[in-house]
């Protein structure tokens, strides 16, 4: 394999490995260190075995950020169900979310309303400028006790779900929840259309209390009376006899949750398709191709969850295909311009919701990367695969070579010091690196090779010389 091609393959492999390692590390760090992260350095952890006998109160805590999407919805449902089954005394949902995507917010509100376990919602912690918009704002209003840090905001709530857009259901549900929380119609209208600061929420009477973190929240909620599906309950949260259990999204749900990040999905789709197109120019199917399948699959999940403009997605795919065609014809002209135009227009119109629009700098960076990769790097790689100038592939029939990448059945062979694409036609399933081969035919730009045994050839040549000598 040529040094350039090998370098490109190594870069693709390293990029994939780095992406997977970073993703799994982030997911595992949150899964394993969820309590420390959720506490923000100020909340009590679960009691140890020696203290289990003294536990009188149990609290379930689920902190989350990002969109309220199917993975988050499933986790909220599981935590509420577990709290009911185990007789927990309180559930706390600590949220920092910009809205919902592809989720049934009415179902979530109903789950909180039907819970016999009190549910406190908290927008925090302090110092992160947390917000509860869209579906998250409705979740916050649905809580039996509603808290927020001093720098938090709630709203705008409409649309609750970016995949649905503005809805009369959102307006109706907002007004119902605001009225139930003690607010008025004016506050409901402001929450629907814009951000509302903590001071305004407190003045309107919908904020139960200000709490800068989970520990102050637990302290201040002690003694509060809330109304649940089981009736009025007074919260008794004695610090010395309380078990606090933190929940976080599992590994799979965390990966799917990450897949609802708009720029991430866009990059997954572009990188994944780029890897697949790279493999289309290579013999066999390697790490880059496998990684491309995985990344495109995750990207497809994101396209299903997030509201996208399908003609914009089609233009991005068309742009990448045109770049590949431009690479195949080794040109730099009208096809390149058409590919760039399609890619840029599609990227700028990729998502249907304005809040999800891709930043211009990301579109410019992705376009320049695609242009450089296909027009410069891939063109150079293909030229390196074409062999030396002045040598036609038909001239290689009968030549001897050595396998440089496993032929299974396609790969590369070295013939007379040059790299050529080859297809294995021998009896064995594949040919290993270093196997001597002989070219016996061609198929377009690919040479057809079979095993060549130098010892057998030498023995045959010696036998022929002896026969000629005896006849003479």
3-state secondary structure (DSSP) of residue 148 = strand
Q: What digits encode the pLDDT tens for the residues 126-147?
A: 888 899 999 999 999 999 999 9
* Fold agreement between 43-254 and 393-456: no
Return the bridge partners of 308, or none: 351
Q: What pLDDT was estimated at residue 336?
A: 85
| Alpha carbon distance 355, 262 (integer Å) | 10
Q: Where are the domains of the chain?
A: 3-21+261-385, 43-254, 393-456
Judged against a pLDDT cut of 90, whether residue 81 lies above it is answered with: yes
Q: Which fold has domain 393-456?
A: OB fold (Dihydrolipoamide Acetyltransferase, E2P) (2.40.50)
Range name among 9-23, 55-69, 449-463 with the lowest pLDDT average: 9-23
Range name among 256-270, 321-335, 347-361 with the lowest pLDDT average: 321-335
What confidence tier does 457 reach under pLDDT thresholds 50, 70, 90?
low
- Structure-token match 């594949």, residue found: 430
Q: In what order do the strands lie in the sheet with 90-96?
A: 209-210, 145-148, 119-123, 90-96, 57-65, 242-246
Q: What pLDDT was estimated at residue 46?
A: 38
Judged against a pLDDT cut of 90, whether residue 242 lies above it is answered with: no
Judged against a pLDDT cut of 50, whether residue 32 lies above it is answered with: no
pTM of the model: 0.64
Q: Which CATH superfamily is domain 43-254 in?
A: 2-enoyl-CoA Hydratase; Chain A, domain 1 (3.90.226.10)
Judged against a pLDDT cut of 60, whether residue 44 lies above it is answered with: no
Q: Which range is most confident: 30-39, 222-231, 341-350, 434-443?
A: 341-350
DSSP class of 46:
P
Q: Which two tokens stand for residue 99?
A: 């809205």
Judged against a pLDDT cut of 90, whether residue 453 lies above it is answered with: no
């Amino acid at each position: 394999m040529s040094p350039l091609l090998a370098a490109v393959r190594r870069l693709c492999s390293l990029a994939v490995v780095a992406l997977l390692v970073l993703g799994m590390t982030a997911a595992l760090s949150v899964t394993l260190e969820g309590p420390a992260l959720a506490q923000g350095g100020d909340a009590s952890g679960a009691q140890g075995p020696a203290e289990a006998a003294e536990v009188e109160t149990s609290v379930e805590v689920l902190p989350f950020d990002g969109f309220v999407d199917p993975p988050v919805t499933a986790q909220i449902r599981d935590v509420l169900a577990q709290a009911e089954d185990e007789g927990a005394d309180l559930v706390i949902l600590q949220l920092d979310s910009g809205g919902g995507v592809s989720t049934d917010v009415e179902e979530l509100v109903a789950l909180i309303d039907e819970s016999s376990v009190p549910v406190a919602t908290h927008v925090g912690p302090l110092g992160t400028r947390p917000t509860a918009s869209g579906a998250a704002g409705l979740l916050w209003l649905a809580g039996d006790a509603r808290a927020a840090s001093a720098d938090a905001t709630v709203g705008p709530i409409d649309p609750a779900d970016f995949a649905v857009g503005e809805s009369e259901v959102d307006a109706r549900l907002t007004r119902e929840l605001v009225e139930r929380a003690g607010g008025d119609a004016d506050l409901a209208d402001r929450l629907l259309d814009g951000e509302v600061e903590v001071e305004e929420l407190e003045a309107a009477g919908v904020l139960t209390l200000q709490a800068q973190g989970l520990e102050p929240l637990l302290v201040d909620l002690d003694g509060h009376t809330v109304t649940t599906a089981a009736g009025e309950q007074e919260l008794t949260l004695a610090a010395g006899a309380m078990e606090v259990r933190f929940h976080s999204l599992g590994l799979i749900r965390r990966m799917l949750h990450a897949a609802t990040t708009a720029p991430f999905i866009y990059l997954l789709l572009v990188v994944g398709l780029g890897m697949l197109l790279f493999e289309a120019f290579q013999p066999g199917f390697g790490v880059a191709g496998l990684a491309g399948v995985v990344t495109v699959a995750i990207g497809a999940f994101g396209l299903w969850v997030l509201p996208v403009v399908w003609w914009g997605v089609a233009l991005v795919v068309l742009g990448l295909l045109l770049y590949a065609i431009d690479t195949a014809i080794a040109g730099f002209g009208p096809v390149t311009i058409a590919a760039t135009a399609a890619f840029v227009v599609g990227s700028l119109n990729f998502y249907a919701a304005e809040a999800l629009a891709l930043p211009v700098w990301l579109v410019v960076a992705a376009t320049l990367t695609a242009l450089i990769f296909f027009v410069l790097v891939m063109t150079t790689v293909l030229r390196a695969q074409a062999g030396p100038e002045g040598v036609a592939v038909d001239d290689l029939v009968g030549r001897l070579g050595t396998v440089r990448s496993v032929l299974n059945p396609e790969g590369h062979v070295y013939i007379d010091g040059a790299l050529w694409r080859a297809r294995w036609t021998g009896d064995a399933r594949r040919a290993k690196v270093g196997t001597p081969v002989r070219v016996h035919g061609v198929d377009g730009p690919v040479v057809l090779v079979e095993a060549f045994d130098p010892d057998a050839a030498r023995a045959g040549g010696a036998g022929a010389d002896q026969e000629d000598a005896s006849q003479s």
